Structure 1
Amino acid sequence: LDTTRWPASRVLHIRKSDRPGQLRGVPWLSPVMMTLGEISDYIEAQILKQRMAALVAGVISAAADGNNPNTKALEDLSPGALVTVPEGSEISWTSPPKVDGYAEFIKQAVAMIAVGIGITYESLSGDLSQVNFSSAQMGHMVMDRNVEIWQIMLVNQFCEGVERWLIDAWKLMPTNPKKSFTLDWTAPRRPLINPRNDIPAMVDEIDAGLSSRQRKQRQLGLDPATIRRERVEDMKADRDAGLTPIVPKSESTPKPTVELAQPIGAPKPDVTGVEK
């Protein structure tokens, strides 16, 4: 039970920093910890209530003359059975409590938990009965922002620490090449809701200069260097087989020329002798 201190260089402290100067992280479930405990108590109470609802019992009233009837036949009551009740006896059935509103309450509780930890209700519960394409896409977009933050957090705090340790261990190898290296990290692919529209939008961003090809490839969970090498291999294999190499549409389609509008009243430029 002795306490041992470790230097910070040997510890990878993974945390989400919500404010400048924050040294410690906050547990992921801390916003919904109380809610989870209350929901657990509610579920236990509902289970007990359900057990009580299943306890349907019969109460036998004795005959008016005070004689105790023989109720052994009722002790062996089974579904579909016919029993004989002594003359003068009355049977009344208990009314166990009903279990109402359980599904609606649990659904709202799960939705509160999902919002508290930054994911969608459908991802947490697996229930897709109340969503359509538009609502599912909007929820996916909101969740993707949180997932991107978590991925960046893991890369900066965990993966780069592993890279540092790996480089230090590599230097200790007696037969290692004296060549420095770095590691690149590609996050797992996030599934596209509508690839027919999402992929052309990515291509337009690349053509417009709003993003790079390798950035979009990494967002899809792919390695740009691997794709580039495989494209060269595919083109070489097509040439060796006598096939026409497949050229992407963005590279084969000529881009239209854009003419700049001239201010009103401005003289037209003299293009005499200028080559097109």
Structure 2
Amino acid sequence: DFPGQVRGVSWFAPAILRLAEHDEWHGAQLVRQKVGALLTGFIVTPDGSMPFGGEVSQGALIAGMEPGTLLPLLPGQDVRTTTPPAIAQEANDFGRITLHEIAAALGLPYEVLTGDLASVNYSSIRAGLVEWRRRVEMTQHNVIVFQALRPIWRRWAMIESLQGRLAARPQELLPVRWITPKQQWVDPAKDVQAEIEAINAGLMSRREAVAARGMDVGALDAEIAADKARETRLGLAFTAPAKVPPAAAPAIPVTEEGA
């Protein structure tokens, strides 16, 4: 309700009713399937004899209905049962719609919540993941970093500096930059090319692109320089394969008549 509050409404509050209903639906469908699997046969003998041993009550054998059970009956007795219907497509659609509502209430893509990728394509999964990753980054920086990591770092820097294990003063240690883990791309080739074009057009800096990968640009430049120095010292040369231009179509000679 306000910035900095410690306790509040659970993130599951918008979905708690749908979660309970989905659990009840799942249990009801499971019982329905179990009842539908109760294939029981009945044996009627002319003289009323019991071909199987067991507990008998009023001339009838007492037994539970289980898949594959054969129950003897007295002559003239009949059993009528209802045939439980199979799970219809409407029931599956209801469960899927409920999961969509739960995912929307939790701010999660349906595919992330369920792992069901049957009805997605490249564009839909990319759009859904981009929006979801924005929410993840917001939670990382506004909740995890702000409420957990910063107080831990501030306390550690203060204790280490006051006890003399670090030469720097506390105020010199407090400024810190938190870099979140790199998010995997849906199509790395297109995303990298888009970054290169954005850097060349001046729309983003190389430092920003490197930081988005979860790395420090200074450490990356030092690694690249060290790799090049080692390659030069060892006489190694690594070059990217040259792109072969597409073959030109053969020229068709044109005669004066054809012209």
TM-score by length of 1: 0.68
In the alignment, what sits opposite 2:130?
Answer: 141
C-alpha spacing 1:79/1:191, structure 2 compared with 1 (3 Å): closer
What pairs with 1:158-173 in structure 2 (closer than 5 Å)? 158-173=148-163
Query: Which amino acid counterpart does residue 184 of structure 2 have in structure 1?
Result: P
1:239–1:245 contact (8 Å) kept in structure 2: no
- Which of 51, 59, 72 aligns to 2:51? It is 72
Aligned to 2:250: none
Following the alignment from structure 1 to structure 2, what is the Cα–Cα distance between the partners of residues 227 and 236? Answer: 14
Aligned pairs for 1:179-218 within 5 A: 179=169, 180-181=172-173, 182-218=175-211
Q: Distance in 1 between matches of 2:148 and 2:34?
A: 48
1:96 is aligned to: 83
Q: Secondary structure at the match of 1:205?
A: helix
**What is the aligned partner in structure 2 of residue 26 from structure 1?**
9
The answer to whether the 8 Å contact 2:40/2:71 transfers is: no
TM alignment of 1:1-276, pairs within 5 A: 21=3, 23=5, 24-58=7-41, 69-72=48-51, 89=76, 94-98=81-85, 99-100=87-88, 101-153=90-142, 154-179=144-169, 180-181=172-173, 182-243=175-236
Normalised by the size of structure 2, how large is the TM-score? Answer: 0.72
Could you say if the C-alpha distance between residues 107 and 83 of structure 1 is closer, same or farther in structure 2, counting changes exceeding 3 Å? closer
Counterpart CA distance in 1 for 2:168 and 2:72 is 97
Would the aligned equivalents of 2:43 and 2:73 in 1 still touch at CA under 8 Å?
Answer: no
Distance 1:214 1:110 in 2: 40
Relative to structure 2, which stretch is displaced further, 115-124 or 73-82?
73-82
Report the alpha carbon displacement of residue 126 of structure 1 after superposing the two structures with TM. Answer: 1.0
| Superposed displacement of residue 84, structure 1 | 9.8
Return the structure number with greater relative CO, CA threshold 8 A, min gap 6. Answer: 1
Aligned-residue CA RMSD (Å): 3.5
**Residue deviations 1:33-82, cap 9 Å, x none?**
1111121222222222222222344567898xxxx723535979999999
**Aligned residues of 2:41 and 2:68 also touching (Cα < 8 A):** no
Query: What is the letter of the counterpart of residue 160 of structure 1?
Result: R
| 2:49 counterpart SS class | coil
The CA deviation at 1:194 is: 0.9
Q: Which moved more, 1:74-83 or 1:131-140?
A: 74-83
CA contact (8 A) 1:56 1:93 kept: no
Note if contact 1:60-1:91 (Cα within 8 Å) is conserved in structure 2. no
Structure 1: segments with no counterpart, 5+ residues: 1-18, 248-276
Matched residue pairs, number? 224
- 2:45–2:73 CA contact under 8 A, matched in 1: no
State the AA in 1 paired with 2:10. P
CA distance in 2: counterparts of 1:185 and 1:172, whole angstroms:
23
Task: Work out whether residues 218 and 224 of structure 1, in 8 Å CA contact, stay in contact via their aligned partners in 2.
Answer: yes
Distance 1:109 1:92 in 2: 39
Q: 1:27 and 1:126, CA in 2 relative to 1: closer, same or farther beyond 3 A?
A: same
State the distance in 1 between where 2:70 and 2:216 align. Answer: 75
Deviation per residue, 1:87-137 (Å, 9 max, x gap): x75755522322334432222222211111112111111111111222211
Please list the CA deviations of residues 136-192 of structure 1 after superposition, one character each: whole Å capped at 9, or x if unmatched.
112112212212211221223322222211211112323431342233211111110
Identity of aligned residues (%): 26
Q: Which residue of 1 aligns with 2:243?
A: none
- Aligned-pair distance for 1:195? 1.0
* Cα gap change, 1:216 to 1:156, in 2 (>3 Å): farther
- Whole-angstrom CA distance in 2 between matches of 1:203 and 1:188: 21
Q: Quick one: which amino acid aligns to residue 130 of structure 2? A: M
- Alpha-carbon distance in 2 for matches of 1:22, 1:168: 23
Structure 1 letter corresponding to 2:166: N
